[in-house]
A and B are shown apart, each in its own frame.
Chain A
Amino acid sequence: MQENMTIPKEKFEFVNTGDLSHDKKLSTKPVGYFQDAFKRFCKNKGAIFGAIVIICLLLFAIIAPLCTPYTVSYRDSRYAVAQPRAKIFENTNFWDGCEARNMGRHDLTYYLAMGDETGHNAIKNQNYTEIEPGYFSVRLDSVHKVGMIYRVFEEADYLAIQQYQSNTGRQVIYPTVAEADRPVALQDNEDANYYFKTEGKNRTDIVYDDNGDIIPVYYTYTLADGEQAGDADGYHSLRIEGEDGVNGDGKVYYRYAIRNQTGYECRINYYEYYIYYHTVVLQDGITEPYFIFGTTGLGQDIFTALGSGARFSFIFALIVAAVNMVVGAIYGSIAGYYGGKIDLFMERFSDILSAVPTMIVITLLKLHMGATSQAIVLFIAFFMTGWIGISATTRMQFYRYKNQEYVLAARTLGAKDGRIMFKHIFPNALGTIVTSCALIIPSMVYSETNLSYLGIINLSTGNITSVGTLIAQGQQYLTTAPYMALFPSIFLALMMLSFNLFGNGLRDAFNPSLRGSE
C-alpha cells in the first residue's frame, strides 16, 4: 500500500486531455418531430395497409377513365344491365358477362336460334341443361342476347354498311323477314330475332319441323333472267355463311332490305352494328361492347362511371379539405392566440354555424342557387361546417403553447404577433391538423354519397357522376343485378376503411404521449 502511495505525479495523465466530450457533437442523427412521427407511422401495419389501399384507389381514379374508351355520358339502352365480364374469366362461370337463367322451351329455342344464325352465342357455348322436362338452365350472355333488330337506314348509310362488310368480312345486315311473317304485338317492335316460322295468337309460338328444328322464313325473291342479284334493294354484298345469299336452286335470293318512305328497313345484328357504328361512324375508340364492371340500368359503363366518380370525389374532397384547413387554421390561430373577448365571440359564431344541419344548408342553397351548380352548393355546404373542427384543434394547441417560455422569449426579442403565431406556435398544431384533414376526406365522400343517394344532390350531369349516384341506381336493381351496387359499394367501403386506418395511424404517430408505449 505504501508503495502505491508514492507513484510520481508525472505518471498520472488525464484521460481526456484536449477534447472534452461535452463539446462533441452527438454522433447519432437527430430525430425531429416529423421524422419521429414518420418512423412510428411506418411501424403501424394497419396504417401502412391503409396508405397502400389509398394509393391503389387514387391510381384507379387517375388511370381508369384514361384506359377505357367509354365516357360517362356514353349510354346504350340496348346494353343496359349488362353483366360484368372480364376476359380472363371467359372460360369460367364467374364474371363472364353471363347470367344464370332458367327458361322454358320457347325462350331456349329463341336464344339458341340467335347463335345458330350469327355465330354470336346468346347462350354461352350453346350449352343448356334440362333441369326438369321443358325447363332449362342456361348462362345467358347479356351482350349477345340482344341479337337482331330492325332499323331503317338512309341510302348512304345503307351503302356504307355494305362497303364496311366488303372491307372487313363481317356481316352486319342479315336476310330480312317479310312483315307478314313477323310476330305481331311484340313488346319491342324492333325485335328481329324471329326469323323462323311462328304461330299462335300473337304468332310468338315457335313451329318446329319433324326433327324438332326451327323453320326459317327469310324474305326471298326470284330473279328474272338478266337481272342481277340484289338489284331490287340495291344490295351488292351478299354474304350468308355457305349460301352466298342464294337459296335453293340458285334462282331464289334472300332479300336484305325492305324499302319504305324513309329508307331501307334492314335486319341487323346489333352486336356487329355496334362495332361498325363505333369504329367507322363515331370513331370513339370503342371496338366492341366490353363492360368489365357491367352497365347500369341506363346503359352506362360502370367501370368508367366509377372511375370518374372516384376522381371527382378525390379532387372535390382534396379541395374542400385544403380550403377547410387554411380557413380553420387561421381562424383557430386568431381565436386561440388572442383569447378573451375575441375568442368568446368567435367561438359563439362557430358554435352557431356548426349547429346548422348540413341538410338544411344544402336545401336552402339549392333552392336559392338553382339546380345548375350543385357541385358549388355541395362545396359551400361542406365548407360552412367543415373548418370548425380544424379551428377547434388549432385553438386548443394555441392555448397550450402560447404561454410557454420560448414564446415569451420570442416576444421579448421583438417578434410580431404574426411571426409568433405562425412561426413558433402553429407548427405544433400541424400534426393534429394533418390528421383531421385525413379524416375529413372520407367523411366528406361519405356525406356526398349519402346526399346523392337521397337524391338531394344530383351530381350526375353531363360528364360527371358520383359514387353515391351509382349506388342509388344500383339499389333499384338490387334483386336482379346485384353487381350494379356491388362495385361502387366495394369502392366506398375500401375508401372509408383505408382512410380510417390511415388517419388513425397518423393520429397515433403525431401523438408524442404514445411514444414508446407501442
Chain B
Amino acid sequence: MYMFKYVMKRIGLLIMTFCIIMVMCFVLIKMLPITVNIQMGQDANIMYNRLEALGYIQNAHQLANGTWTYDNVPVMIQLGTYLRRIFLEGDFGMGINMPEYRYQPVLDVFVEKLPPTILINIYSTLIGVPIGLGLGILAALKKNKWQDQLINVVIILLISLPSIVMGLIIQYVFCFSLGWFPLIMNSGYNYFSWSMFRSMLPAVFSLCFGSIAGYARFTRAELTEVLTSEFMLLARTKGLTRGQATLRHAMRNSMVPIFPSILSEFVAVLSGSLVIESMFSIPGVGRLYLDSINSLDYDFFMLLSGFYTLVGLAAGIIIDISYGFIDPRIRMGAK
C-alpha cells in the first residue's frame, strides 16, 4: 500500500511537471508569428482557410494586392482548442511547412517514424547489456589484476569518446574503409529484413559503445562492494564454492541497482540519439524533430517536444519506482 501511494505520488508529480512544461512551451510557440510558406502551385486560399478552420488564425482574407492578412487568436483560446481536439478527437494537428508531410496528421507521421528509433535502441540494448555486464563482472572478479586495469582503461576511453567522434570513426572505418556496412541506413519500411538490419548496425554500435562502458563501470562498482560484504564470507563458510557464492548471492544483490539503471538508460537513450540518427540518416523521430525545428512546423514541434519531455521524466522515475519492486527490502515512502 505504501508502494502504491508512493508510485501514485510520483506519477502525479510527473503529470504536473509535464503539464506545466507543455503549457509553457505552447504559449511560447504560439506567441511567434505563423510562418506559412506558400509554394508554387499551391493555393493560398485553401491554406489560410484551413489554418482558420484549425483555430490558429481568424478573419483571414486576401487584400487587394494579393497578400493575406489575418488576426491572431488569443493564445489561451488556442490552447483550449488544441486540448479539446487532442482529448476529444485524438488530433494533434497537421503538418504545414514540411513538403513531405504537408496536411498529414502529425500523430500518424510520428507513429510512422517510431519504429527505426525504437528498433535501434532495442538492438543497442541487446548488444550493450550482456557485453557491459560481462566486462563489469570480469573486472570485479579480477579486481586490481591486469584484466581489471585493461577493462578500466577501455571503460574510460569509451566513456570519454563523444558519440559524434565514435560515430565518425565507425562510419569511416567500418562503413567506408572496410566496406562492411552501408554508409547510411537503407530507406523503406521493411525493418526486419537482413539488409535493413545490416544498415542499422553502425548506428547501433555507435550507440551501444557508450552504454557498454556505463554498464561495465556501474556493475564493477556494485559487484566489488557486494563481494567484500560479510554475507559473502558466510556463504563461503557454509560450504559454497566461490562460483556458487558469486552467482547466487553476490550477483543477485548487485543486480538491484543495475537493473533499474538499464531500464532508465533504455528510456533515456530514446531521446539521446539525435546525433547518431542524423549522422547515419536514420528516418526516425530525431530526424523529424530536427526537420520540424528547421522548418518551423509548430504542431510537430509540440508533439515531439512532449514526447521528449515525457521520455526524460519517465527515465527519472523508473529508477526510483523499480527499486521498490525489485528489492523487497526497499519500500520507498514507507514510514
Q: Which residues of A contact B (CB under 8 A)?
A: 46, 351-352, 355-357, 359-360, 363-364, 367-368, 446, 449-450, 453-456, 468, 471, 474-475, 478-479, 482, 485, 489, 492-493, 496-497, 500-501
Are B32 and A367 in contact, with the CB atoms below 8 A? yes
Question: Which residue from A367, A449, A482, A500 sits with its C-beta under 8 Å from B160?
Answer: A500
Distance, CA A368 to CA B316, complexed state (A): 29
Question: Which residue from B29, B164, B168, B278 sits with its C-beta under 8 Å from A364?
Answer: B29
Question: Which residue from B156, B293, B313 sits with its C-beta under 8 Å from A456?
Answer: B293
Smallest CB gap from A366: residue in B: B293
Distance, CA A496 to CA B156, complexed state (A): 10
Are A492 and B156 in contact, with the CB atoms below 8 A? no
Residues of A within 8 A of B305 (CB): 357, 359-360
Are A446 and B279 in contact, with the CB atoms below 8 A? no
Smallest CB gap from B301: residue in A: A363
Are B17 and A475 in contact, with the CB atoms below 8 A? no
7 closest residue pairs by CB, A with B: A497-B160, A496-B160, A489-B165, A357-B308, A500-B160, A360-B305, A364-B28
Are A492 and B162 in contact, with the CB atoms below 8 A? yes
Are A453 and B275 in contact, with the CB atoms below 8 A? yes
Give B13 Cβ to nearest chain A Cβ, in Å.
Answer: 8
Are A453 and B164 in contact, with the CB atoms below 8 A? yes
Are B161 and A496 in contact, with the CB atoms below 8 A? yes
Distance, CA A455 to CA B17, complexed state (A): 29
Distance, CA A267 to CA B89, complexed state (A): 71
Residues of A within 8 A of B21 (CB): 352, 355-356
Distance, CA A475 to CA B279, complexed state (A): 8
Give B219 Cβ to nearest chain A Cβ, in Å.
Answer: 17
Given the interface pairs A367-B296, A493-B162, A496-B161, the reply to whether A352 lies near B20 with Cβ below 8 Å is yes
Report if B257 contacts A (CB, 8 A): no
Distance, CA A47 to CA B103, complexed state (A): 56
Are A352 and B17 in contact, with the CB atoms below 8 A? yes
Are B176 and A479 in contact, with the CB atoms below 8 A? yes
Q: Which residues of B contact A (CB under 8 A)?
A: 13, 17-18, 20-21, 25, 28-29, 31-32, 156-157, 159-165, 168-169, 171-172, 176, 183, 271, 274-275, 278-279, 289-290, 293-294, 296, 301, 305, 308-309, 312-313, 316
Are A450 and B164 in contact, with the CB atoms below 8 A? yes
Question: Which residue from B157, B290, B308 sits with its C-beta under 8 Å from A455?
Answer: B290
Question: Which residue from B32, B165, B309 sits with its C-beta under 8 Å from A356?
Answer: B309
Residues of B within 8 A of A364 (CB): 25, 28-29
Distance, CA A357 to CA B160, complexed state (A): 22
Residues of A within 8 A of B157 (CB): 497
Question: Which residue from A46, A351, A356, A454 sits with its C-beta under 8 Å from B275?
Answer: A454
Given the interface pairs A357-B271, A367-B32, A478-B171, the reply to whether A493 lies near B293 with Cβ below 8 Å is no
Smallest CB gap from B307: residue in A: A357
The contact sample of 11 A-B pairs, CB cut-off 8 A, is A46-B156, A352-B17, A355-B316, A357-B312, A359-B305, A454-B278, A456-B290, A479-B183, A493-B165, A497-B160, A500-B160
Question: Which residue from B159, B275, B309 sits with its C-beta under 8 Å from A355?
Answer: B309
Smallest CB gap from A471: residue in B: B164
Main secondary structure of the interface of A (DSSP, over half): helix
Give B325 Cβ to nearest chain A Cβ, in Å.
Answer: 23
Residues of A within 8 A of B294 (CB): 455
Are B25 and A493 in contact, with the CB atoms below 8 A? no
Give B82 Cβ to nearest chain A Cβ, in Å.
Answer: 17
Are A489 and B168 in contact, with the CB atoms below 8 A? yes
Residues of B within 8 A of A500 (CB): 156, 159-160
Are B162 and A449 in contact, with the CB atoms below 8 A? yes
Residues of A within 8 A of B293 (CB): 363, 456
Residues of B within 8 A of A497 (CB): 156-157, 160-161
Smallest CB gap from A489: residue in B: B165
Residues of A within 8 A of B312 (CB): 355, 357
Residues of A within 8 A of B171 (CB): 475, 478
Are A454 and B309 in contact, with the CB atoms below 8 A? no
Distance, CA A187 to CA B25, complexed state (A): 50
Question: Which residue from B156, B161, B274 sits with its C-beta under 8 Å from A501?
Answer: B156
Q: A357-B308, A368-B32, A450-B163 are in contact. List 20 more A-B contacts (CB 8 A).
A: A355-B21, A355-B316, A357-B271, A357-B309, A357-B312, A359-B308, A367-B32, A450-B162, A450-B275, A453-B278, A478-B176, A482-B172, A489-B165, A489-B169, A496-B160, A497-B156, A497-B157, A497-B160, A500-B160, A501-B160
Give A201 Cβ to nearest chain B Cβ, in Å.
Answer: 35
Give A317 Cβ to nearest chain B Cβ, in Å.
Answer: 14
Residues of B within 8 A of A471 (CB): 164-165, 168
Given the interface pairs A352-B17, A497-B157, A500-B159, the reply to whether A449 lies near B164 with Cβ below 8 Å is yes
Are A489 and B164 in contact, with the CB atoms below 8 A? yes
Give B254 Cβ to nearest chain A Cβ, in Å.
Answer: 20
Residues of A within 8 A of B163 (CB): 450
Are A368 and B28 in contact, with the CB atoms below 8 A? yes
Q: Which of B164, B165, B313 has the most CB of A within 10 A?
A: B164
Residues of B within 8 A of A449 (CB): 162, 164
Residues of B within 8 A of A496 (CB): 160-162
Q: Which of A355, A475, A497 has the most CB of B within 10 A?
A: A355
Distance, CA A367 to CA B294, complexed state (A): 10
Question: Which residue from A355, A479, A492 sits with its C-beta under 8 Å from B165?
Answer: A492
Smallest CB gap from B311: residue in A: A357
Distance, CA A450 to CA B164, complexed state (A): 7
Give A169 Cβ to nearest chain B Cβ, in Å.
Answer: 45
Smallest CB gap from B173: residue in A: A482
Residues of B within 8 A of A479 (CB): 172, 176, 183
Distance, CA A453 to CA B172, complexed state (A): 17
Question: Which residue from A368, A456, A475 sits with its C-beta under 8 Å from B168?
Answer: A475
Residues of A within 8 A of B169 (CB): 489
Smallest CB gap from A468: residue in B: B164
Residues of B within 8 A of A368 (CB): 28, 31-32
Distance, CA A474 to CA B289, complexed state (A): 23
Residues of A within 8 A of B183 (CB): 479
Residues of A within 8 A of B274 (CB): 359, 450, 454
Distance, CA A496 to CA B309, complexed state (A): 27
Given the interface pairs A450-B274, A456-B290, A492-B162, the reply to whether A355 lies near B168 with Cβ below 8 Å is no
Are B17 and A351 in contact, with the CB atoms below 8 A? yes
Give B143 Cβ to nearest chain A Cβ, in Å.
Answer: 13
Distance, CA A70 to CA B324, complexed state (A): 60
Residues of B within 8 A of A456 (CB): 290, 293
Q: Which of A46, A453, A501 has the most CB of B within 10 A?
A: A453
Smallest CB gap from B271: residue in A: A357
Q: Which of A359, A456, A475, A496 has the most CB of B within 10 A?
A: A359
Distance, CA A496 to CA B163, complexed state (A): 11
Residues of B within 8 A of A367 (CB): 29, 32, 296
Smallest CB gap from B294: residue in A: A455
Smallest CB gap from B13: residue in A: A351
Residues of B within 8 A of A357 (CB): 271, 305, 308-309, 312
Are A478 and B168 in contact, with the CB atoms below 8 A? yes
Distance, CA A359 to CA B293, complexed state (A): 10
Distance, CA A263 to CA B141, complexed state (A): 81
